[in-house]
Amino acid sequence: MDEHSVMFLTKFSFFLVLFVLCPLDSGSRSRCSAQMTDNYAPSPAPQSSYMFSEADALYNVVSYSGLTSPPYISSSFCDGQPSLNSITITCSNTIGPDNEWHIIEITMTSVTLDGCIHPDITKLIYLQTLDLSDNQLHDSIPSNLGDLSHLTTLDLSSNQLTGTIPLSLGNLKNLTRLELDQNFLTGIIPPSLGNLSSLENLYLDDNELNGTLPKELGNLRNLGSL
């Protein structure tokens, strides 16, 4: 373990203490819904991918998700061990240009999350897998989620998400799996999804989407299931 990861773990331990001492009041969860409109503009380039900002972002994402027992994410979550009960947070020190540890996966499936997806998720810029399926997450999908250019798997299926499918998702050139089915999403299927050239699995069914499939989806050569 190098110096940086020790600092990271120390910082995260601090957050765990905060978790215990200052549990979020339930009303604060509604703050995830700050961005209700989808006026997509790319986020400014992060000034630094410094892991402290990732720890801050992870703290917000986990706490606003409504996880009932946050302390069972141990402070050693970044040691390369992939699994902590039913939650997986994986880090890598080979993905960035700096050999530092970055969070590349958050999987929290079927753990009765009843909060929302905090917009700080978009600060975890090295994320490759985000799987929050089979929970009761509500509110909208952060409109800038498509800034996470490394994403290969995005599974938010079987929740209670509302609002529209962010146009920005069309930026995710490496996305192979997009599952948004079984929510309460409304509006159209963005034509920008036709730009997801790596997509192999797309599930949007069982929502309140209207209109027709955009003809752009016909461009997707790798698409196997829809």
Ligand X SMILES: *[C@@H]1O[C@H](CO)[C@@H](O)[C@H](O)[C@H]1NC(C)=O
User: What would the DSSP string read from start to end of 52-94?
Assistant: HHHHHHHHHHHHHTT-S-GGGS-TTTTSS---BTTEEEEEESS
Residues near 111 by Cβ (< 8 Å), separated by ≥ 6?
Answer: 67, 68, 86, 87, 135
CB nearer ligand X, residue 66 or residue 166? 166
Residue 216 makes contact with ligand X by CB under 6 A = yes
DSSP 18: H
Taken in order 88, 151, 91, 53, the sign of the CA dihedral is negative
- Binding part of the chain for ligand X, among 27-35, 111-119, 154-162, 210-218 by CB under 6 A, reads 210-218
Choice from 210, 215, 221, 225 touching ligand X (CB under 6 A): 210
Q: From the CB of 180, what's the least distance to ligand X, in Å?
A: 16
Count of all residues that appear for the chain in the document: 226
- Binding part of the chain for ligand X, among 64-72, 76-84, 96-104, 192-200 by CB under 6 A, reads 192-200
Number of residues in contact with ligand X, rule: CB under 6 A? 13
C-alpha 218/C-alpha 194 separation (Å) is 7
Nearest position to ligand X, beta carbon: 192
Residue 75 makes contact with ligand X by CB under 6 A = no
Residue 150 makes contact with ligand X by CB under 6 A = yes
C-alpha 190/C-alpha 168 separation (Å) is 9
- Per the CB < 8 A criterion, the answer to whether 173 and 150 are in contact is no
Q: Which residue has the tokens 């003809």?
A: 215
Q: From the CB of 155, what's the least distance to ligand X, in Å?
A: 18
Q: From the CB of 30, what's the least distance to ligand X, in Å?
A: 22
Of residues 151-190, those binding ligand X (CB under 6 A): 170, 174, 186-187
Q: From the CB of 178, what's the least distance to ligand X, in Å?
A: 15
CB nearer ligand X, residue 9 or residue 148? 148
Q: From the CB of 109, what's the least distance to ligand X, in Å?
A: 23
- Binding part of the chain for ligand X, among 24-32, 67-75, 106-114, 209-217 by CB under 6 A, reads 209-217
Q: From the CB of 119, what's the least distance to ligand X, in Å?
A: 20
Taken in order 205, 166, 164, 64, the sign of the CA dihedral is positive
Taken in order 76, 47, 116, 213, the sign of the CA dihedral is negative
Residues binding ligand X (CB under 6 A): 149-150, 170, 174, 186-187, 191-192, 194-195, 210-211, 216
